Amino acid sequence: MFGKRSDGFLVKDIDPVVALTPYIMPMRCDAQVMTTLKLPYEPLARYVAEKRMEGHQISFMELILAAYVRSISQLPELNRFIANKRFYTRKEIVVSFAVLQNTADGSDRENIAKCKFDPRDTVYDVASRIQEAIVATRKETADNSTLKVARLLKNPLIANTIVFIGRLLDRYGLLPKYLIDASPFHTGLFFSNNASVGLPPVHHHIYNFGTTSQFVVIGNIEREVGLDNEGKPVRRRVLPMGVVADERICAGIVYSRFLQNFQRFLANPTILESPPETILHDQGHVISLPPAKKLRRRFRSRFRRRKKHEQQAG
């Protein structure tokens, strides 16, 4: 209410042209723009293979999300969203993605994981957070807040009523934080790995419900003919990525810089192995860090494993 939300800070200093767009395009489906990026496959594959030889299990998905987190740390305007025609910058860097659960009967059942990141995260930190989220979400017995809310909405009458109330409360910033954390649609980026199920990339719509500002989908590896530095035709493999974004959240030049940074980080992933030298904040609003309790537990478990290994070696 009155511009306050549990998941975002109100942004007041907006370019007049950008500030007008929510009134011209009140819904995200009005303002979604689409593009296809083709990432060079070989450099990414070589990096993943090298890291595995060093004992680091890093996937293409984790590389892409690490580049996203690093880009947000340098261009925080891309972490904005629009609610009730007002601009907000998120208090956290959040990504949602679907995970197939391990079921005893072999049935295909999905759960949604939400992962929060620190703008200082390296590619190793991002990979660790994602892997922990996947392990917790993939279990057949996993019963996270997203599934609890989904079960509650099985009854059509209850679903219609609660969704209507939820939309109303969300519009005025009154939706409880528990429900925002449970909702996969209240996220900065929704990511889908279609390659894991043998599908091509798609340009997936961004949802009117919630606060999703970008939707990214990667698909099967493709082969194409391009030109090398000498202008000679060469066959190469690319990782196609469908990107859909809410054009209203910032000026086009900011999106351009974001894509340049994003592709630069993936062209040389070693940049992501160290924390950024500086972190930029959106008009002074500092992004919250993931809960310290979880980080301490993760580091403590690593210490215990290392200590146990040293004792066995001794």
Give the 3-state DSSP-derived string for 31-67, with helices as H, strands as E and coil as C: HEEEEEEEEEHHHHHHHHHHHHHCCCCCCHHHHHHHH
Q: How confident is the model at residue 305 (pLDDT cuts 50, 70, 90)?
A: low
| pLDDT for res 197 | 82
CA 89 to chain CA mean position, Å = 15
How many C-alpha atoms does 240 have within 13 Å on its Cβ side? 17
**Exposed e or buried b per residue across 110-128, where buried means at least 16 C-beta atoms within 10 angstroms of its C-beta:** ebbbbbbbbbebbbebbbb
Q: Taking residues 219-235, report their average pLDDT.
A: 86
Residue with more model confidence, 306 or 193: 193
| pLDDT for res 149 | 65
Give the helix ranges, DSSP H, for the chain: 16-24, 28-31, 41-53, 60-74, 123-138, 145-152, 156-171, 177-182, 252-267, 292-313
The domain locations on the chain are 8-289
Q: How far is it, in rounded angstroms, from Cα 267 to Cα 38?
A: 12
Least confident interval from 137-146, 167-176, 254-263: 137-146
Residue 194 has pLDDT above 60, yes or no: yes
Strand 214-218 and strand 189-193: the pairing is parallel
Give the CA angle between residues 16, 89, 263 to the nearest 5°: 95
Full-model pTM: 0.85
Backbone angles phi, psi at 159, to 5 degrees: -60, -50
In percent, the amount of the chain with pLDDT more than 90 equals 61
Residue with more model confidence, 70 or 15: 70
Pick the CATH number of 8-289 from 3.30.43.10, 3.50.50.60, 3.10.105.10, 3.30.559.10: 3.30.559.10
In percent, the amount of the chain with pLDDT more than 70 equals 84
Question: Which residue in this structure is represented by tokens 């989904």?
Answer: 150
Residue 312 has pLDDT above 60, yes or no: no
Q: Which two tokens stand for residue 70?
A: 């690093």
Q: How far is it, in rounded angstroms, from Cα 272 to Cα 296?
A: 22
CA-based end-to-end distance of the chain: 61
